[in-house]
Amino acid sequence: MIPEDKGKRSTPRPLALVVVLSDWADGAVKAGLCTLGAVMALLIGYQVFSRYVLNHSLFWAEEVGRMCLVWITFFGSTAAYRRHHHVGIDVLVRRFPERFQVAAGLMAWSASMLLFGVMVVYGARFVGFVANQKSAALGLPMALPYSVIPLSGAVFVLHGIRHLMEQLHGMGRQ
């Protein structure tokens, strides 16, 4: 269902569709982050217990925990970007007149979109490059941990399109 704007201006249909897709992706990311965080905490907690109490180390726990942490980092960044909680340096931009601030914001988001596109394209190439390699402990294809790069890049692109469209429509963060 496409949300409707309760204000005087109606939301353009393409923007409404992008908002729905962005919100859906964000919900999936949040669920994944919760799941990965719980798996990592329980696994590493059990690994510590097993190592120091039972005197038996799980040889694969650190590898899985590290993979979870990498996925949490990349997808957590998309969640922060979606909410405008990412690091930004705007000391100089805030001194500009408002219309220059808007232009600077559009240029920054455009540069971000370029970077996110690079993540998708070259991340996918890299995943193909490491597809035949196996992880040390579990023998999983290395494409699995590295696939987070193009996947998170695609989520970044979706959120970036939303930010750009909202800014152009005058609904972005002030």
Q: Where are the domains of the chain?
A: 13-85+95-169
Tens digit of each residue's pLDDT, the chain (174 residues): 455 545 555 667 888 899 999 999 999 999 999 999 999 999 999 999 999 999 998 989 999 999 999 999 999 999 999 998 887 777 777 888 888 887 888 888 888 999 999 999 999 999 999 999 999 999 999 999 999 999 999 999 999 999 888 877 876 554
Q: How far apart are CA 74 and CA 17, in angstroms?
A: 24
- pLDDT, position 15: 84
The candidate with the shortest Cα–Cα distance to 66, out of 44, 86, 49, 46, is: 44
* Structure confidence at residue 102 (pLDDT): 79
Q: Residue 18 has what pLDDT?
A: 92
Q: Tell me, what DSSP letter sits at residue 47?
A: H
Which pLDDT value is given to residue 174? 46
What global pTM score does this model have?
Answer: 0.85
Would you put residue 132 in left (φ > 0), alpha (ψ -120 to 50) or beta? Answer: alpha
Q: Cβ(143)–Cβ(69) under 8 Å?
A: no
